[in-house]
Every structure is written in C-alpha cells, then in structure tokens.
Chains A and B, each alone.
Chain A
Amino acid sequence: MQASNNKALTPLSAQASSSTPFAEGLLLPQVATATLELIINKALALNNNKAISFAALNQKTLTLALAELSFELSFTVNTGSSPAMVMVRSQVDTSDCTIKTSIKTLTKLKANQSLTQLIKQDELDVNGDIKIAQQFANIAQSLAIDWQSELAKHLGDVPTHKLLQFGNKITKSISATGKQIEADICEYLVHEKRLVVTLGQVSAFNGQTTAIASEVTAISARIDKLFAKLAAK
C-alpha cells in the first residue's frame, strides 16, 4: 500500500510544481485582496459623507495592474447592500476600466501631475472608460471618517479626549525635540567643526564673486581700449 502511495505521488508532484506558481500556491493574491476588501469596506461603513453616491458605479469594475505586483487588483462595486460594498478580486474576465501603472506613478498622480503627461511618458496606460477610474478616485477623496467619534465608541468619551490630548502633547513634544536636535546639529557642523557654511556666508561669497567678476570685466574692457589706442598710433 505504501509503495503504491509513493508511485502516485511522483507524477503529481512534477505536474503540480510546473502548473502552480509559488505566490498562487500560497494564495498571496487572495490574502492581499481579502485584506484590501476588509479595509475598504470598513472605511465605507465609517464614512460620514452621505452625499457620496455609488449608483453610477453599480457592478462596474476598475482593474489596477501594478508593475510591482504579479497579480491584478480588481474593484467591483455592489450597491445591493447598505452601505455599498466593494469586492476585490485578483483576476477578472472583463473590466470596465483597466489601468496599467506602478506605485511610483500613482504617487505622482496624487501630487497632481497631469494624467495626460503621464500617459504620454508611457508611465500610465488606460484601457476602457476613464470616467470609471475618476469616479472611484472621487469617492476615495470624498470619504469623511470621524476617527475621534469612532474611537470614543470603543473607549468612551473621556478616555478618548484624554488620549487625544496626550497624543497632541506627545506630537508637540516630539516636534519641539526634533527642532532642538536639528538646531544643535547645525551649531555643531557650522560653528564647531566648520564643515558646513551658513546661508548668509554663501550669499556673501556669491556677492563678492559677482563683484570681482564685474571688476574683471571692467579691467578687461579698459585693456581692450588701451590695445586699440596703441594699435591706432
């Protein structure tokens, strides 16, 4: 019996290892899509901006093919439930809009760099209805989540208030300490070690260089004049 088990294993192992990519066998795309789906739908459930409408996006799919990922991310809206839900999948047969790009380019988009400019530079490839992508982006930007209220539901009003007060104090303290450290480092590099010059010293140097350059130009002009006079005599 044992022998027959081993015989059965050999061809199967060989076949499977060639047919199932590593990430797929470990279900990494499914882990990623499940996590994203959870986060997105939690954010939608916490959203306070009731003006957001998903009606135009019902059953529409936006697919993101990121260069850094070996699988696609497809987002499909379902308005059948309340609040509307977004389903995330790692592969779909058809998509209303597919964007091929990289995470780096997405950050450029966030920094308001022109969409057309990025398409011209081949950093972004859009297939399908671009309006779908714009509507998805608009919804993402319109989400309004009151984190303080959400936290208060779990901790209570007073603890949340105290926690946020403490958080603000810590933030201010960290910011002040950071500024102090920065000043100390500047002092050490500029005045003690003299490894770096100050902005004033740089502009004074620039001013002196410009003055010398204009003096040199004037002297050069005078010499040219003298040469011209000598040549005339």
Chain B
Amino acid sequence: MSSSDQHSQNSDSSTNASAPSDIDTSADNSTDSKNTTHFGYKTIEKDDKISMVAGVFHSVAKQYDVMNDLMSFGIHRLWKRFTIDASGVRPGNKVLDLAGGTGDLTAKFSKLVGREGKVVLADINSSMLNVGRDKLRDKGLVQNIEYVQANAEYLPFEENTFDIVTIAFGLRNVTDKDKALRSIYSVLKPGGRLLVLEFSKPEHELLNKAYDFYSFNILPKMGELVAKDGESYKYLAESIRMHPDQETLKSMMDNAGFEQTSFKNLTGGVVALHKGYKF
C-alpha cells in the first residue's frame, strides 16, 4: 500500500467514509471550513497540514519502498504498471510524475519517452525526493529526468507544458485537492491527460470490512516493526478513509475542467485509477 508524498487535506464534502464505527467522519466533514482541514481523522488548521504531512514522510522516506512491498504484498507494482499502460505514453512525451516519491513511475516513464522526451519527478517532500533521486541514479537513469520540489497546488511550470501528469498515492495528502487539480489542468497541454492512482472505496462490504481490519490493526503494527513508526501508518489508514470515493473524485476532476473523465477500480476498488483529458 503506497502512501506517496505530498501534503494532504480534505476540503471536499464527500469522503471515503469506511472508517471504524467509533470515528464519525461525517462530523469531521461538517467541521471543514476555510481555515480547517483533516489530518487523518483529526481536524486541524490548514496551515499546519503541510508540516504535519511532511513530518510523516520525512519519517518513512528511507523505509518507504520496503513498506510498500510489505503492506501491499507487492501489488502496488501492478497498480503502477496498470497506470503506465493506461497513460498511452509515447517516445518524445513530457511527463510530470507529481508526488512521485521514490520514483517508481518515473523510472518506467523515463525508459518509454526516450532521449527526446522528459520526465519531471516532483514532490513536496525533500526526503522523498532525495531517496527517489538516489534510487534512479543508482539504476543509471539520468538522461531525461529532472527533479523539482513542488507543491501540487502551485505547480512551478508554464501552462501547456506536459503531455501526461500522474499523481500516484499523493492526491489524498494534498491540502486543497480542487486547487491542485486546477493547477494540474493548467500545466497540461491540450490533448494531455491526468492519471490519478489512489486508494479508494472497496466495492464489496465484506472486502471493506477485511480491509478496515487490516488497515487499522495490522498496518500500524507493521509500520512500528519495520519503519519504527506506527503513528505514520495509522495516519496512512485514516487518510485513505477520508479520501473522496470514486464518483466524488471524478466529479472533482470534471469541476476542474477535465473532460472524458473515467475511473477503473483495481483489486476490488481498494485502489482506483482516474483518468481525464484536457482539450
């Protein structure tokens, strides 16, 4: 279960509310205001969110890949492969891997766009970016990759720059998702596409319950054992539950200006891939 990078926040009205019954996520939503937001199940000041999420990812950065493999039993690699397949990437394309973390998607894109293309690995968290840069350099991937520390809400790129923008397991950590989606829309070229890979709402109630048990009982313990940080993985589980469900996220993309938006549920809806075009 990946938990990539970026800052978080829910300013949305609808959430993926499959949390344990003692947590009233609807109450959390009602407390959303211009100045407050969510950090997992906690309601906090918006200004505090970036630093709190940054703390989580500074803490887990070094063990990030190992934990992803452990927690998802390696399935996150298939989810990311599905994203690459759905991207329609071609040689020469310019790709922005937003909240790219340790660079799994960037590595694949780099090989597919070739020397004439370019991949920008962007992340708000310097620790994650450093781990990603070291990993990609160790793999010999240097020719067509740039690294940028950037906030998804204020992307430091010119309008109409990228053919493809991906954000994998990062959107739920963004403080103002609507603003981030508008910012992404702006940097996409006409004909370009956004792919959002993110945890979502399981399709079946039984799977939902098993997933809840796993997320709130096993996952934090795993984090404690391997990354020596159970709290960060408790936040991961909570932030997933507070993330908009499939239909809500699709509507948010529509509202940001994306066209032909659609989503595919993967692994029973545990993860969904949303896709939208700018024309």
Give the size range of A's interface with the partner: 35 or more
Which among B78, B110, B144, B263 has the highest number of chain A CB atoms within 10 Å? B78
Binds B, one of A82-90, A113-121, A125-133, A167-175: A82-90
One of B33-41, B199-207, B223-231 at the interface? B199-207
Contacting residues, chain B, for A20 (C-beta < 8 A): 264-266
Residues in B whose Cβ lies below 8 Å from that of A13: 203-204
Q: Assess the B26–A30 pair: CB atoms within 8 A.
A: no
Closest to A94 in B: B90
Please name the residue on chain A nearest to B246 by beta carbon: A12
Q: Does B78 lie within 8 Å of A1, measured CB to CB? A: no
In the complex the two chains form, is B265's CB within 8 Å of A19's CB? Answer: yes
A87:B111 contact, CB within 8 angstroms:
yes
What is the distance, in angstroms, from B73's C-beta to the closest C-beta of chain A? Answer: 12
B173 → A minimal CB distance (Å):
22
- A/B pair count, beta carbons within 8 Å: 101
How many angstroms from the CA of A27 to the CA of B266 in the assembled complex?
Answer: 7
Stretch with Cβ within 8 A of B (4 or more), from A3-11, A190-198, A204-212: A3-11
Q: Which of A16, A80, A93, A94 has the most CB of B within 10 A?
A: A16
Q: Provide the residues of chain B in CB contact with A19, threshold 8 Å.
A: 262-265
Residues of A within 8 A of B246 (CB): 12, 15-16
Separation of A106 and B91 alpha carbons in the complex (Å): 28
Chain A residues closer than 8 Å to B144, beta-carbon distance: 80
A1 and B265 form a contact (CB under 8 A) = no
A2 at interface, CB cutoff 8 A? yes
Give the distance to chain B from A204, nearest Cβ to Cβ, in Å: 66
A27 touches B247 (CB 8 A): no
Chain B, residue nearest A21 (CB): B264
Q: What is the CA–CA distance of A13 and B26 in the complex, to the nearest angstrom?
A: 21
**For chain A residues 68-95, which have a beta carbon within 8 Å of chain B?**
76, 78, 80-82, 85, 87, 89-94
Docked CA distance A66–B128 (Å)? 41
Q: Are A76 and B203 in touch, CB under 8 angstroms?
A: no
Chain B contacts for A67, CB-based, 8 A: none
Task: Say yes or no: A12-B247 contact (C-beta < 8 A), given A30-B78, A89-B85, A93-B88.
Answer: yes
CB within 8 Å of A: which of B25-70? 25-26
Residues of chain A from 15 to 41 with CB closer than 8 A to chain B in the complex: 15-17, 19-20, 24-27, 29-31, 33-34
User: Which residues of B from 177 to 232 have beta carbons under 8 Å from A?
Assistant: 201, 203-205, 208
Chain A residues with CB under 8 Å of B147's CB are none
- Name the distance in Å between A60's Cβ and chain B's nearest Cβ: 9
Tell me which residues across on chain B come within 8 A of A82, comparing CB atoms.
140
With beta carbons under 8 angstroms apart, the residue of B17, B24, B85, B265 that contacts A25 is B265
Q: How large is the interface on B (under 10, 10 to 19, 20 to 34, 35 or more residues)?
A: 35 or more
State the CA gap A25–B203 with chains docked (Å): 11
A160 interface contact, C-beta 8 A: no
CB distance from A56 to the nearest CB of B (A): 14
A189 vs chain B, min Cβ distance (A):
53
Contacts A1-B17, A11-B247, A17-B203 given: A25-B268 contact, CB under 8 Å?
A: yes
Tell me, in angstroms, the Cα distance from A20 to B270 when the chains sit together.
Answer: 13
Whether B85 and A90, one on each chain, are in contact in the complex, defined by CB atoms closer than 8 angstroms, is yes
In whole angstroms, what is the CA distance A27 to B245 when docked? Answer: 21
Give, as a whole number of angstroms, the nearest-CB distance from B140 to chain A. 6
Other-chain contact of A29, B26, B85, B108, B264 (Cβ < 8 Å): B85
Residues of chain B lying within 8 A (CB to CB) of residue A102: none
Smallest Cβ distance from A2 to chain B, in angstroms?
6
Beyond A5-B18, A34-B77, A91-B85, 19 additional contacts (C-beta under 8 Å) are A1-B17, A1-B21, A9-B204, A9-B205, A12-B201, A16-B246, A17-B203, A20-B264, A20-B265, A27-B82, A30-B78, A30-B81, A33-B85, A58-B114, A80-B111, A81-B139, A81-B140, A82-B140, A89-B84
20 CB < 8 A contacts A-B: A1-B17, A1-B24, A9-B205, A9-B208, A12-B201, A16-B203, A19-B264, A25-B264, A25-B266, A27-B78, A30-B78, A34-B77, A59-B91, A59-B114, A82-B140, A85-B111, A89-B84, A89-B85, A91-B88, A93-B90
- Which 5 A-B pairs give the minimum distances between C-beta atoms? A93-B88, A59-B91, A78-B111, A16-B265, A30-B78
Chain A interface residues toward B at CB < 8 A: 1-2, 4-6, 8-9, 11-13, 15-17, 19-20, 24-27, 29-31, 33-34, 58-59, 76, 78, 80-82, 85, 87, 89-94
Residues of B within 8 A of A (CB): 17-18, 21, 24-26, 75, 77-79, 81-82, 84-86, 88, 90-91, 108, 110-112, 114-115, 139-141, 143-144, 201, 203-205, 208, 245-247, 262-269
